[in-house]
Amino acid sequence: MKRIVVLLLIALFLTSNAHAEVKLGQVPPVIELKDELGGRIDGSPWSSSEMKGKVFVLFYVDPDVKDLNNEASEALAKEEFPRERFQSFAVINMGATWLPNFMISSSLKDKQKQYPKTIYVRDYKKVMVKKWNISDDNSDVLVFDKEGRLIFKKDGKLGADDIKKMLQLIKENL
């Protein structure tokens, strides 16, 4: 009987940590997107462990609301932050839409031309939703400092004040 209770407690502990929420001031668990889970547009793998040594902005986007935070993207582009200290990722939540993958991939190639400094990544199985417990079917914006700690997070549309706060945090952490 003790053995069953211990096993149940261990299972409960493991499942509660599997969906750890990304919290301000903390480095989230590493996520790897490769093969059937996703990866970069060119097919190569992507890992959140790459988000160290620079300030990073990560857009996690449902293709159905792909334009929701265009104002934030434009504001970042206008800043022209130095590439050696700043990088942006757009991770596309491919599992959040009914649109076929080939259509989304075609659209991503156009976005890549529009925002050449952004690295585009596909998440086919909602890995970030499951592992980081971030908002699904939405447009999420996360900013990480040089050590990989989360310093800004917003689910949904960023307003003018949100964009101003995001830019200020990036400048302070460059």
Q: Using one digit for the tens of pLDDT, what is the confidence trace for 64-115? A: 999 999 999 999 999 999 999 999 999 999 999 888 888 888 888 888 887 8
Q: What pTM value is reported for the model? A: 0.85
**114 within 8 A of 131, measured Cβ to Cβ:** no
Q: Other CB atoms closer than 10 Å to residue 57's CB: what's the count? A: 24
Domain chopping of the chain, boundaries? 2-173
Token pair, residue 92, equals 């596309």
The interaxial angle of helices 70-79 and 160-173, nearest 10 deg, is 40
- Are 174 and 85 contacting, i.e. CB atoms less than 8 angstroms apart? yes
Cβ count within 10 A of residue 67: 9
CATH code for the domain defined by 2-173: 3.40.30.10
Q: Taking the mean position of all CA atoms in its chain, how far away is CA 126?
A: 11
Amino acid letter at 72? A
Query: pLDDT tens for residues 19-70?
Result: 567 899 999 999 999 999 999 988 999 999 999 999 999 999 999 999 999 9
Q: What tens digit of pLDDT does each residue of 163-174 get? A: 999 999 999 999
Cβ partners under 8 Å of residue 94, min gap 6: 38, 63, 101, 104, 122, 123, 124
Q: Nearest Cα to 172, choosing from 147, 145, 148, 142?
A: 145
